[in-house]
Homo-oligomer: A and B are copies of this chain.
Amino acid sequence: MSERYVVIMAGGSGTRFWPASRKKQPKQFLSIGADRSLLRQTAERVVEMVGWDHLLVVTAEVHARHAQLELAELPEENLLIEPEGRNTAPCIAWATAVIHRRAADAVVAVLPADHFIADPAAFRAHLETALAEARPAEGAPRIVLLGLVPTRPETGYGYIQAGEPIEAHEVRQVARFVEKPDRETAERYLAEGGYLWNSGMFIFHVDAMRTALAEHLPELATKVDELVESPRKLKALYPELPSVSIDYGVMEKAAGVVVLPSNFPWSDVGSWDAAHEIQRKDAAGNVALGDALLIDAKNVLVDARAGRLVAVVGVEELVVVDTVDALLVIPRGRAQAVKAVVDHLRDQERDELI
């Protein structure tokens, strides 16, 4: 049997969870949906399948120390630190090259560090299937995308239109990738069926990925091999890698990419609204974290984990997030407007708050 590896992509940054998330503390380090960070949750979700020695984490220099603290069990050589972010294709190509050198017959699952999965066992069952499908008993090794069966007309995700089923397998061909749709289109996708949310998680045999990279991003394929041969060149070489996403650079072009329709509860936790959605609520639909006092409140999210009492009285559909140096009050459904706050702070050069 092929050795199995998991690569967690933890290099992301973002502002959608301001004020909890900051440049130095992006979303993957926030405790959402559990009392551990999303990064830690992601690692714990798979470590029983592959062990810490077969888990790789790719992150940015600025977040490396934080990642080490979160994942104390991770062997030092399994933390891949990008000198600078170059989008997902270089990150995955590098990790694939590292794994290939350790185990030339490996199958690899690539997982974003900042998703929430409420049922880890159901997720693992799908992952087992995908790992098997990535190296079928007969035929060529493959790249397998995890595609979630939609449960609502979500406009915040990209979709994969599934193509023909593959006989005797659970995966299907990929007909096409589609960008985030408008509401009407998303409703049509839901009604028609055959469209799946692109989870950003994928599983492949190293040969399948290396073949695809060599064909579609040959410069990248060559340079990551050079990187693995000469690790000391990392700081010099990495910034030269082509900055391109794995979807655009490989998935949408490569032959033999398949999708596994999946139905475990999944969220990419894209906003405070989503954070409210996924968490355990009281009878009035409230999520109260930390020292929150809710009186006559309904469908609110109060994050009071900064050590101060947050009393919320007589309000509905509101998000209140307290931190040591900044506080946010914003209605549910308006969570995208967090960006306006961060933009304003940037304009005001209040970098310490971003």
- In the complex, the chain B residue whose C-beta lies closest to that of A326 is B309
Q: Is the CB of A327 within 8 A of B330?
A: no
Q: How many residues of A contact B (CB 8 A)?
A: 33
- In the complex, the chain B residue whose C-beta lies closest to that of A343 is B295
Q: Is the CB of B327 within 8 A of A295?
A: no
Pick from B311, B325, B334, B345: contact of A341, CB below 8 A.
B311
Q: Is the CB of A326 within 8 A of B311?
A: yes
Q: Is the CB of B340 within 8 A of A313?
A: yes
Cα A328 to Cα B304 with chains together (Å): 12
Of the stretches A112-120, A139-147, A179-187, A314-322, the one at the interface is: A314-322
Q: Which residues of B contact A26 (CB under 8 A)?
A: none
Q: Which residues of B contact A320 (CB under 8 A)?
A: 327, 329
Pick from B313, B327, B330, B340: contact of A322, CB below 8 A.
B327
CB contact under 8 A between A312 and B325, given known A293-B341, A295-B340, A341-B295: no
Most buried by B among A295, A318, A334: A295
Pick from B331, B345, B350: contact of A315, CB below 8 A.
B331
Is A103 part of the binding interface, using a Cβ–Cβ cutoff of 8 Å? no
Jot down 30 A-B pairs with beta carbons below 8 A, ordered by A.
Answer: A19-B309, A19-B311, A293-B345, A295-B340, A295-B341, A295-B344, A304-B327, A308-B324, A308-B327, A309-B325, A309-B326, A309-B327, A309-B353, A310-B326, A310-B327, A310-B329, A311-B327, A311-B328, A311-B329, A311-B341, A312-B329, A313-B328, A313-B329, A313-B338, A313-B341, A314-B330, A314-B337, A315-B330, A320-B327, A322-B327
Interface residues of A (CB under 8 A from B): 19, 293, 295-296, 304, 308-315, 318, 320, 322, 324-331, 334, 337-338, 340-341, 344-345, 350, 353
Given A312-B330, A313-B338, 13 other A-B contacts at CB below 8 A?
A293-B344, A293-B345, A296-B337, A304-B327, A310-B327, A311-B327, A312-B329, A313-B330, A313-B331, A313-B340, A314-B330, A315-B330, A327-B327
